[in-house]
């Protein structure tokens, strides 16, 4: 199993450009999440999904859109990139379980917006 994979690993964008980050998981997990991590900080939740076709806002959703058309994929879109979106983006997945369950993280996408 590959676990959670993210594409691309690195990207440089100019202000105003758009892009889509792809997250894929092969563990048949229901839940998927997108986080961003800025230097010296913890992860902040952008959007999440509790199943195919459903998405919800997290802590810092502004400037991002997401889609979950297939259970195994969760896409994060930046429609008009801004320098404030320079960050490392992590995707994670988990299965639903009362009482909590671990999240599995991808390796991250390092995005720079100039």
Site mask for another protein (CB under 8 A), range 14-33, x = bound: -----------------x-x
Backbone conformation region of residue 107, classed left if phi is above 0, alpha if psi is from -120 to 50, else beta: alpha
- Residue 14 or 99: the one with the smaller Cβ distance to another protein is 99
| Other Cβ atoms within 10 Å of 73 Cβ, number | 16
Q: Does 42 bind another protein (CB under 8 A)?
A: yes
Q: Count the alpha carbons within 13 Å of 7 in the hemisphere toward its beta carbon.
A: 6
**Stretch 56-95 residues interacting with another protein (CB under 8 A):** 56, 58-59, 88, 90, 92, 94
How far is Cα 94 from Cα 86, in angstroms, rounded to an integer? 26
Q: Does 50 bind another protein (CB under 8 A)?
A: yes
Report how many residues bind another protein under the rule CB under 8 A.
31
């Amino acid at each position: 199993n590959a676990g959670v994979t993210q594409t691309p690993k690195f990207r440089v964008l100019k202000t105003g450009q758009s892009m889509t980050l792809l997250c894929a998981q092969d563990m048949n997990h229901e839940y998927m999440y997108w986080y961003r991590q800025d230097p010296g900080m913890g992860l902040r939740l952008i959007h999440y999904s509790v199943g195919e076709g459903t998405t919800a806002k997290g802590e810092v959703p502004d400037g991002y859109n997401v889609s979950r058309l297939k259970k195994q994929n969760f896409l994060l879109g930046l429609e008009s990139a801004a320098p404030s979106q320079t960050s490392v983006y992590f995707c994670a997945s988990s299965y639903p379980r009362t009482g909590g369950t671990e999240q599995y993280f991808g390796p991250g996408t390092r995005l720079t917006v100039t």
